[in-house]
Amino acid sequence: VSVTLRPDVVRLTISCPDRPGIVAAVANTLAEQGANLIHADQHSTDPEAGRFFMRVEFHLPNLLEREHEIASSLAPLAERFAMSWQLSAETELDTVAIFASRSDHCLLDLLWRWRRGELPMQLAFVASNHETLRRDVESFDVDFHHVPMEDHALGERELLTLLAERGVDLIVLARFMRILSADFLERCNCPAINIHHSFLPAFAGGDPYRAAYERGVKLIGATAHYVTAVLDDGPIIDQETAPVSHRETRADMKRVGADLERVVLARAVRWHLERRILLDGRRAVVFR
């Protein structure tokens, strides 16, 4: 992987009830630890009674050795502001598993961007309920697991085993055509990002291009979102639309939509890996 990862660059993300003084307190604490702030983003849903979100990039040599010390220095802040926080070095890569079915466009685009260095991640494996894409995946020197899903519970157990073996931090559903159970989502112990081929909340559920065609919409869309136990209902990370007219058949819609899907999914995955996404209930704060 040829991603340019900056050594000694650390990301801190913060979420807490909004109150005066948070930024100054965080900036001071980091300065006292010798951190040089590179970039900071913040957002408040309401300065009065809202929630506060912050993402800070700073330069700090030897994070691994000093992680405990930094954590200790943040602890009083966390208590004072009822803050949850997460700290990670840019060079600590998430381990990612991709689930796919038969469609290749989203999967190949992720593999290609990963090889090109656009996605800072360790790619653990690709799992699919079909054999179709094995050759494509293996040509990238990535493990491919065929996990049949006819027996859904059995398939999910096999997927859970694979995830656990490889210590996966993020699942990406690249047009995986099976619905993961609430039980699976609880046990997998990591977030999952899905791409849905419509501008949600329109056309949730199966066959959205057919539904879009029949409704006669003048634009089609794609939505990347976190997966929750309710189908196509999790926090939306990114969406994009493209215009269509009466001349586009359903096959044309699929073709145009595929170009949206792969771009939107790749962007959402990158933002997640770069720690740019914080959740505000059902809404996603994305520090682009």
Given the rule CB under 8 A, which residues bind a copy of itself? 20-24, 27-28, 30-31, 36-44, 47, 59, 104-105, 108, 112, 116, 118, 139, 199-203, 214-219, 221, 223, 235-241, 245-247, 255, 259, 263, 280, 282-286, 288
CB of 74 to a copy of itself, least distance (A): 15
Looking at residue 5, what DSSP letter applies? P
- What are the strands, taking DSSP E only, across the chain? 9-17, 36-44, 51-59, 84-89, 94-100, 121-128, 144-146, 170-174, 192-196, 219-226, 236-243, 277-280, 283-286
Which amino acid, residue 215?
A: R
Overall residue count recorded for the chain in this entry: 288
- Kindly state the smallest distance separating residue 80's Cβ from a copy of itself, in Å: 14
Pairing label, strands 121-128, 283-286: unpaired
Compare residues 40 and 162 and give the one whose CB is closer to a copy of itself: 40
Q: For residues 33 and 95, which CB has a smaller minimum distance to a copy of itself in the complex?
A: 33
**What is the spatial distance between Cα 79 and Cα 74, in angstroms, rounded to a whole number?**
9
Tokens 């096999």 found at: 158
On whether the CB atoms of residues 79 and 52 are closer than 8 A, the answer is no
In the complex, minimum distance from the CB of residue 83 to a copy of itself, in angstroms, rounded to a whole number: 16
Residues classed as catalytic: 232
Q: What are phi and psi of 208, to 5 degrees?
A: -65, -30
| Residue 53 Cβ vs a copy of itself, minimum distance, rounded to whole Å | 8
95 vs 239, beta carbon nearer a copy of itself:
239
C-beta separation of 265 from 176 below 8 A: no
C-beta closer to a copy of itself: residue 5 or 202: 202
Supply the minimum distance, in Å, between the C-beta of residue 82 and a copy of itself: 18
Quick one: 4 or 68, whose CB is closer to a copy of itself? Answer: 4
11 close to 90: Cβ distance less than 8 angstroms: yes
